[in-house]
Structure 1
Amino acid sequence: MRRPTIHIIGAGFAGLSAAWRLSETPGLDIVVHESAAQAGGRRRSIFDEATSLTVDGGAEFVLTTWRATLAFMEGIGARAQWRETSQDGVAFVDMASGERWTTRPGAGGCPFWTLDSRRRPPRTRWRDYWPALRLLRAPPRALLKDYAPSLGPSAERVWRPFALTALNTELDRASARLAGAALREMQFGAARPLAPVHGLTRDFVEPALKALRRRGVAIRLERRLAALDCRGERVATLEFEHDRIDLQPGDAAILATPPRVAAALVPQLSAPTEFNDAIAVHFAISPPSGAPGMLGVVSGAFHWMIGAENRISVVIKNAASLIETPRETLAANLWRDVAALTGLSDATPAWRVVRQRRATFAATPEQDALRPPLDTRWRNLFLAGAYVQNGAPDSLESSVRSGAAAAERARQWVESF
C-alpha cells in the first residue's frame, strides 16, 4: 500500500520545524523542497572574506523562554552549541547622558522585581512597568502607546527599546496585542538570550538537516515552486520550474515560504503588506576584556552591541531610514559609537554590513489583521511561517511554532483517509 506523502515548500525554520514534527509520525513520506541552494531561509550564515568571519543574516538570538525553539534544538542535538550572552541581567547605556545600568529581571516571570529601583533603569518608576499586565488583555486594534508611556525616561529606557527589540516596530505604531504576546513569551523579562557559537547554519540548520535525513526526510534544494494546480477543494499538482508532482488524495502540502511568495502562489491570500528592515554590522575585532556580552544602547546610532570572541556586532532595528546608506559610510559612523563605548581605537576595523530588507512584518494592528490562518480554502494545503496568524510577533520562535502547528494539521488531514 502506498504511503501518504507530505510536501513542505521552503526549508526555512518554519519548514524545517514542520518536517521535524512530521518525522515523529511513522508511515509518512516527507519531502522538503527549497528554491535556494541551501536551507535556512533568511536566517542562515555566510562566510565573509573581507573579515574572515562567518556571519548570520542578522545577530540572531533564541530566548530561554522560547519553548518550541528549545525543544526543536534539543531534539536535533543542537542545544549545546548555544551560549548565554547575558547571565547577570542586561547591560544598557544612554549615549546622551552617559548613564550605565543593568536591568535584572526576576526569575520565573514574576514582575515584582520592578519594585526594586536597583534592578530597573535610572529615573524610572515601578508603576511605569505595570501597563504590561494590561497588555496581556489588549484588544486587536489597540496600540502599545495607549498602554505605555510614550514620553520620559521609561519610554526611552524601557518601552521604546522593548518595541524595537521584540516587534521591530516603533512604539507609536506597535500593536498592543503583539506587545503583550511578546511580554508573555519573555516572561516579563525573565528570558535570557542565547547566541550560536559558530552561526545559525552550523549550530542549527545543519544539525536539523542531519537529524531529518536520519529520519528519512528527503531534502531537495534548488527546486522553486512555480504554481499550484488547485481542483475543487484540494491542491492536485505542485508545478515546479522543471517538473511537476501530482498529489494523491491522501497527500498534503505545507507552504512554508515568505509571505510575498505565498501570496503569489495562493489566490486571494490575505498576508501582511508592510515590512520593516533591520541592519547588522559585524566588525572583525575582539571586544575588550570585561565588556558585556550584550549591551543595549539608548540614544545611539544602533540599538544593540554584541561581543563575541573574534567580533563586535551592532544591530539597528526598524532601519528603513538607513537601509540605503552606503556601506562604508554606515560602518564608519557606527564604529565611532562602538569606539566610544569600548575605548577601542577610532580606526575602523574590517567590517561586514548585512542589510535585512523586509526583516519582519510591521507589528501594527493593521498588519496583524492581515495575517492568514494556517488553513486555506484547499483542504490539503496549509501555511507555515512567522507571518501566519498565531497571536505572536514575527520571530524565530513564531516560525518554529507555526511549522509545528501546520505539521499537526497536515497529519490530521492524512489520517482522515
Structure 2
Amino acid sequence: MACSGGGGTGGAPGPGSPTGGRCPRGAVRDRDAVGEHRQGREGGPRPGKDLPASGRPFPLRGQRGGPEAGGTHRGIAKPAFLRGCEGQTVYGGDKRAPAPGSPAGPALYRGPGRPLRDHPHPDPGPRVRRLLEKGFPLHPGEAGRRLEGDVAKQVRGRVLVVGGGVAGVAAAARLARAGAPVVLLERSRRLGGRAASGTLPGFGEVDLGFHVLMRTCRAARALLRGLGAERDVRFQPRIEVPMWRAGRVHWVKSYPLFHLTPFLFRFGHLPARERLALVRLLRGLAHVPEASAADWLRSLKIPSRAVDLLLRPLLLSALNGELEGVSARYAAMVIRRVLLSPRGGALGFFQVPMSRIWERVVPLVEEAGGEVRTETRVEAIAVERGRVEGVRLAGGEEITGTAVIAALPPQELLDLLPDDARDLLGPVEGIPWSPIVCVHLLFAKPVLPFPFLFTPGLALQAAFSVSRLQGKDGPEHVVLVQSGARDWIERPLAEVREELLECLQRVVPQVGSTKLLSAYVLRFPRATFLPAPKVEGLRPQVVTPIPGLFLAGDFVRTGWPSTLEGAIRSGLMAAEAVVGNSLQINISPEKGGRWRSR
C-alpha cells in the first residue's frame, strides 16, 4: 500500500469531471441501483476523527482542516498568445514576464522568511550560481527564496509542463517556487491524473481510486507541505494493520522501542515457528538477486503460509503485481521501508479529495507569472532542428517555451512526438502495465468493524471505510480494492460486484442485512507499470537525448515503483534538470523533507 501512485492500495486511477461526463482514461464504472454501465469521474470527502484500532482509539497525527483549494480561481486577462482560445479554462496569465531584452527586474516570488543567501559553491559559466535556499516552506509563515542574476535569466523563459498529473504538479510547483514562469497544460477538467477525484451520484465527491501514503514517502510529504496541504493527510503514529482470516483478526503492529518484535510472538495467524522464520529476511536483504520476488522468498526458505498471509498482501498492494511477476529488488525495497522502519510503514489517509490538493499549485504558478490551463489537449510536441521549441494544441494554437516537461504515460508521450524522435526515448513501449479494480459501495449504516481490513486467503484483498477514515457520519462509503487485477479486468462488472460483495459478507456478516444504497465498479487496465525483473532497464531517464525535452511520471527511472512517491520524485527531478541540476532534495526522516541549494 506504500505511497500509492497509480491508485488503489498500490495505485489506482484517474482524472475527474465534476459533472460526471467522461471516465478517467480507460476506466469503466457501473451503477448498481439500476444496473447501468456508464462513465464518470471526480473527487471527494473532508477531514475527520481519530481512527479506532484493536478495539481502542489511536491518535492520527495532524489535524483536519487547512485551507480549501477547490472552486474557481481568479482569472486574469489573457496574454497575447492565449487570445482567441475560447472554450478553454485559463488560470492566471503571464503577468510578470519581462519584455524581450529587458533587465531582470524585481523578484519573481517574494514573501516573508530569511534573506537569500549566496550559493556556497557558485558555478562558473552558464551553470546556476544562485538559488533559493528552500523551495517549499516548512511552515506556513515561511516562503520560498527568489532567483537572482544569471539564474533568473536562465529560467525566465517559459517552461511548459504537459500533463497535470501528480508528476506534472510536482514539477510545476518546484519551478514556480524557484520563480520560473510555468504553463501547466492538462486535458481533463481536474488536476491529478490517475490520482484525481470525481463525482459519483449518491457518493458525492470522492477519490475514484483509493490512495494511501506512508510516512516513508518523504518527497510526497515535502510537496504536501509546499502546497499547504500537510494537514490534509493524517498518519498513524506507527504501523497498525488488521488482518482477517477464518473469522479472526490479528494485527501487524509496531510497538515503541521494540518495533515488530512483539508481533513475532503475537501474530496468531501463524505458528511461532513460521513467525520466527521471517527473521531470515534480514539475511536475504543483504544480497538481493535479479529474480522474481517469489523465487527470492523461496530461496530464503520463508514458509509458504507466512508468504501468503503476510508478505503477499503487503507486496501486492505496494507493487500492484503478484510475487511471480515482480522484481525481488523492489520487493526488498518495500520490506526495508515498511517492515524494518519503526515509523516509515505508518499509513497516511487523505482527508479531502485529492484534486483539491493538487489545485493548490495554481496560486504558486500564477505568483511566478505562469498559468494553469485545464481542458486543454496537446496535439504535438514541436521539435525543430533537433530541439524542442514548444507544443501545438488541438485547436492549432502553438505555445513556445525554453523547455518542455512531458508528464505523460509513455504511450501518450510517443503519440505527441515526431516519428524520427520516438526512437530516441528507448524501449519505453516495452514497459509492462498492471490493472486495478475498485468497487465503491454505499451502505445505509456503518458495517465495517475497523476503518480498514486486509483479508488474505480470500478473493477480496482489502476493504477501506472512507467514511470512518475521514470521520464522516451517516451512510458508510466502503471501497474494495483489487490490486494486480488481471483476472478481474475483463469480467462483467455485475459479476465483479456480486463476487466481491459475497466475500465482504463472509468477513462482515451484517453486510447481508444492511441496505446497499449504491455501488460502482471502476476498472483501470493501465493503473501502474509492473515492476517486473529487469524492468529498470526499460525505464527512461528524466533527461532525454532531445534537447529541451524532459520526462516525468512514475515510469521514469527514480528507483521507486509506480507510486505517488515515485511520480512526485520524477517531477522534482525534471524541475531540477530544467534549471541545470541546481536543485536538491534533502530529506530528513523526522521532518519529512526539506529543500535546499547545494
> Relative to 1, partners in 2 of residues 1:79 and 1:403: Cα closer, same or farther, differing over 3 Å?
same
| TM-score, normalisation: structure 2 | 0.63
Q: Report what 1:62 is aligned to.
A: 213
Residue 203 of structure 2 is matched in structure 1 by: 52
CA distance, structure 2, for counterparts of residue 209 and residue 52 of structure 1: 27
Which of 12, 17, 22 matches 2:165?
Answer: 12
- Give the drift of 1:301: 2.2
Which secondary structure state, in structure 1, belongs to the residue aligned with residue 490 of structure 2? coil
| Structure 1 residue corresponding to 2:377, chosen from 224, 242, 249 | 224
Label 1:307 to 1:283 Cα distance change in 2 as closer, same or farther (>3 A): same
Code of the residue aligned with 1:279 in structure 2: it is V
Task: Name the % identity.
Answer: 25
Report the residue type matching 2:318 in the other structure.
Answer: A
Selected match of 1:252 from 363, 387, 403: 403
Residue 134 (1) aligns with residue 278 (2):
no
**SS of residue paired to 2:291:** coil
In 2, the alpha carbon distance for the partners of 1:409 and 1:395 equals 21
1 or 2, which has the higher helix percentage? 1
Q: Distance in 1 between matches of 2:239 and 2:267?
A: 11
CA shift digits 1:4-52 (9 cap, x unpaired): 21111110000000011111213x2111111222211121111111x33
1:357 aligns with 2:525: yes
Provide closer, same or farther for how the CA distance between residues 413 and 298 of structure 1 changes in structure 2, counting only shifts above 3 A: closer
Q: Does 1:116 align with 2:264?
A: yes
Contact 1:35 1:225 in 2 (8 A): yes
Q: 1:42 and 1:67 mapped to 2: Cα distance?
A: 20
Matched, 1:207 2:360: yes
1:89 is aligned to 2:247: no
Cα offset, 1:129, TM superposition? 4.5
Deviations 1:250-297 (A, max 9, x none): x11111011211233341123143211001111112674782212111
Looking at structure 2, the residues matched to 136 and 45 of structure 1 have their Cα atoms a distance apart, in angstroms, of 40
State the secondary structure of the residue aligned to 2:404.
strand
Contact 1:228 1:237 in 2 (8 A): yes
- Compared CA separation, residues 115 and 222, structure 1 to 2 (3 A): closer
The CA deviation at 1:154 is 0.9
Gaps of 5+ in 1: none
Aligned to 1:379: 547
Pick the structure with greater CA Rg. 2
Structure 2 residue identity aligned to 1:316: Q
Q: Aligned pair in 2 of structure 1 residues 9, 344: CA closer, same or farther (>3 Å)?
A: same
* CA contact 2:238–2:254 (8 Å) conserved in 1: no
Aligned equivalents of 2:256 and 2:333: distance in 1?
18
Q: Does 1:331 align with 2:480?
A: no
1:342 aligned to 2:508? yes
Partner of 2:412: 261
Taking structure 1 as reference, are residues 212 and 193 closer, same or farther at Cα in structure 2, changes over 3 Å only? Answer: farther
CA separation of 1:120 and 1:365: change in aligned 2, threshold 3 A: farther
On the 8 A contact 1:135/1:179 being kept in 2, the answer is: no
Letter in 2 for 1:353: V
**Residues 195-218 of structure 1 deviation map (CA, whole Å, 9 limit, x = unaligned):** 22232223x223333444445431
Q: What does 1:62-81 align with in structure 2 at a 5 Å threshold?
A: 62-81=213-232
Equivalent positions of 1:276-295 (< 5 A) are 276-285=434-443, 288=446, 291-295=449-453
CA distance in 2, matches of 1:137, 1:299: 30
Task: State whether structure 2 residue 272 is matched by structure 1 residue 101.
Answer: no
Structure 1 stretch displaced more, 193-202 or 377-386? 193-202
Task: State the distance in 2 between where 1:136 and 1:21 align.
Answer: 36
Is the Cα contact below 8 Å between 1:31 and 1:217 reproduced in 2?
Answer: yes
Equivalent of 1:304 in 435, 458, 462? 462
Compared with structure 1, are the counterparts of its residues 127 and 213 closer, same or farther at alpha carbon in structure 2 (3 Å cutoff)? farther
2:519 is the counterpart of 1:370: no
**Match of residue 171 from structure 1:** 323
2:443 is paired with a residue of what secondary structure? coil
Q: CA deviation at 1:342?
A: 2.3
The one-character-per-residue Cα deviations of 1:382-416 (angstroms, maximum 9, x if unpaired) are 1000000111100011001110011000111799x
Distance across 1 between alignment mates of 2:181 and 2:268: 52
Match of 1:143 in 2: 292
User: In structure 2, do the counterparts of structure 1 residues 283 and 228 end up closer, same or farther at CA, with 3 Å as the change threshold?
Assistant: same
Please give the residue correspondences for 1:150-161 in structure 2 after superposition, counting only pairs within 5 Å: 152-161=304-313
Q: Give the secondary-structure state (helix, strand or coil) at the position aligned to 1:125.
A: helix
Structure 1 residue 325: deviation in Å?
Answer: 2.2
Distance 1:291 1:345, change over 3 A: closer
**Counterpart Cα distance in 2 of 1:219 and 1:279:** 31
Partner of 1:188: 340
1:41-85 deviation per Cα after TM superposition (whole angstroms, max 9, x unaligned): 121111111x33323231111112210111111111112222347
Matched, 1:391 2:559: yes
Provide the C-alpha distance between the structure 2 equivalents of 1:222 and 1:136, rounded to a whole number of angstroms. Answer: 49
Q: Secondary structure at the match of 1:334?
A: helix
Give the Cα–Cα distance (whole angstroms) in 1 for the partners of residues 441 and 572 of structure 2: 36
Q: Report deviation, 1:122.
A: 2.2
Distance in 2 of aligned mates of 1:39 and 1:206: 6
In 2, the alpha carbon distance for the partners of 1:282 and 1:73 equals 26
**Greater CA drift, 171-180 or 230-239:** 230-239
Distance 1:154 1:413 in 2: 45
The partner residue of 2:431 within 273, 276, 283 is: 273
TM-score normalised by the chain length of structure 1: 0.88
Contact kept in structure 2, 1:144 and 1:176, CA below 8 Å:
yes
Mean alpha-carbon deviation: is it higher for 403-412 or for 337-346?
A: 337-346
Residue 441 of structure 2 aligns with an amino acid whose one-letter code is F
Which 10-residue stretch deviates more, 270-279 or 397-406? 270-279
Matched to 2:572, the amino acid is A
Secondary structure, in 3 states, of the residue corresponding to 2:193? coil
- Give the Cα separation in 2 of the matches to 1:329 and 1:63: 33
Q: CA deviation at 1:236?
A: 2.4
- With over 3 angstroms needed to count, the CA separation of the structure-2 counterparts of 1:386 and 1:290, relative to structure 1, is closer
Task: Tell me how far apart the structure 1 counterparts of residues 534 and 239 of structure 2 sit (CA, whole Å).
Answer: 37
Instruction: Flag the 1:136–1:392 CA change in 2: closer, same or farther, 3 A.
Output: farther
What SS does structure 1 have at the residue aligned with 2:210?
A: coil
- Number of matched pairs: 405
Query: CA separation in 1, counterparts of 2:542 and 2:527?
Result: 21
Partner of 1:313: 479
The alignment partner of 2:222 has SS state of: helix
Question: Over the residues paired in the alignment, what is the CA RMSD in angstroms?
Answer: 2.7
In structure 2, C-alpha distance between the alignment counterparts of 1:137 and 1:232, rounded to whole Å: 47
Q: Give the letter aligned to residue 198 of structure 1.
A: V
